[in-house]
Structure 1
Amino acid sequence: MSTALLIIDVQAALFDVSPRPEEAEAVIARINSLSARARSAGAPVLFIQHESLAGRLAYQSAGWQLAEGLQQAPGDAYLRKTTPDSFLRTALQDWLTERGVRDLVLCGYATEYCVDSTTRRAAALGYPVQLAADAHTTHDKAHASAVQIRQHHNATLPDLTSFGPPIVARPCAQIVFTPGAS
């Protein structure tokens, strides 16, 4: 069984703005720690980038690029998407299958949209998910602060048991990567 790290939407237009997402620098540092540990274990690292036809997330625009400070390495993979669900109309499922990935670690932006949608879809497709509880973030909203949104998702996503595979929310320091199949 192998684990892959999916880093969702940590992009300049979403992070390198004012105001920044909650704990932006700390979240990027935790993601960098996760990706370094994944690479050391031989686990695949995938950067997922949201795009739109125009505007700040237009493909290859400055805002579409990965956020400042996010570390990349040779061998990392990249996937473009156009909806909050990283599986919808993308090659993500094939990419995971080709690498023998059996479970996922998810982190990134935005907690209540792309992280949530991808977590739910992954579980529905049969993947156990480790949600990096302190490495996903969002901006404050009118109805709830970013801290409240993250706490809510860390508490409620693991309660979704009807998909079958477990969803667990744990701090980055407790996440374990299993090397890919050889």
Structure 2
Amino acid sequence: MKKALLIIDMQTMPFVWKDYGGKALYHEERLLVNTRLLIDRARQAQSPIFYVLHTETTGPRSVDQPLWEIVDPVAPAPEDFFIIKYHADSFHETDLHMLLCNNGVKGLVICGIQTDYCVDTTVKRAYSYGYEVELASDCTSTFDSDELTAEQIIRHHHHLLQQFASLLPSDQVVFKA
């Protein structure tokens, strides 16, 4: 079964928000290291890699603006795919499903930001399309809310997402060549 790596919203904004009065992204270094591991494994197996970019119509997170760019440690290669999305669901009003089908992809390994929004929604939508979904359990992140810590939010969403995806640590994810 052909698998693709789907990297959601690993853009500059979530990583610098803390520098502008926002909250810190939970375990951001671990997230970057584990995402890099997944990228390297996918490339070794020649599996397609899809970068999903949260995009706004205007402002600092619009196309080609600095906060919109993918962070350097997980930078894309020229052969990678880019999906511009305007909603939490990476499939909604994008060509993601069509591109996956055209590339013979039946399985998805999903990682990225934010566990409780775009990752959660995309995992469920991928499942509803019939993809075999694996969620890299140590490769999603979010921010503390006013009520819960990021760790609590992630643990809760991962518990719920077990109905829609296999949860595996990044070092156990396998892409076949």
User: Shorter-chain TM-score: what band?
Assistant: over 0.9
Query: Which of the two has greater helix per residue?
Result: 2
Structural mapping, 1:2-151, within 5 Å: 2-18=2-18, 19-151=23-155
Indicate the larger mover: 59-68 or 35-44: 59-68
- In the aligned structure 1, how far is the partner of 2:62 from the partner of 2:27? 25
- In the aligned structure 2, how far is the partner of 1:51 from the partner of 1:74? 20
| Number of equivalences | 173
- In the aligned structure 2, how far is the partner of 1:93 from the partner of 1:173? 26
CA RMSD of aligned residues (A): 1.2
Superposition deviation, residue 78 in structure 1: 1.1
- Name structure 2 gaps, 5 residues minimum: none
- In the aligned structure 1, how far is the partner of 2:71 from the partner of 2:146? 25
Q: Which residue number corresponds to residue 175 of structure 2?
A: 177
- In the aligned structure 1, how far is the partner of 2:16 from the partner of 2:40? 22
Moved over 6 A (4+): none
Alignment TM-score, normalising by the size of structure 1: 0.91
Superposition deviation, residue 107 in structure 1: 0.3
Secondary structure at the aligned position of 1:42 is classed as coil
Superposition deviation, residue 110 in structure 1: 0.5
Secondary structure at the aligned position of 2:68 is classed as coil
Q: Percent identity, aligned pairs only?
A: 35
Q: Which residue number corresponds to residue 164 of structure 1?
A: none
- In the aligned structure 2, how far is the partner of 1:87 from the partner of 1:151? 24
User: Contact 1:4/1:38 (CA < 8 Å) preserved in 2?
Assistant: yes
Alignment TM-score, normalising by the size of structure 2: 0.93
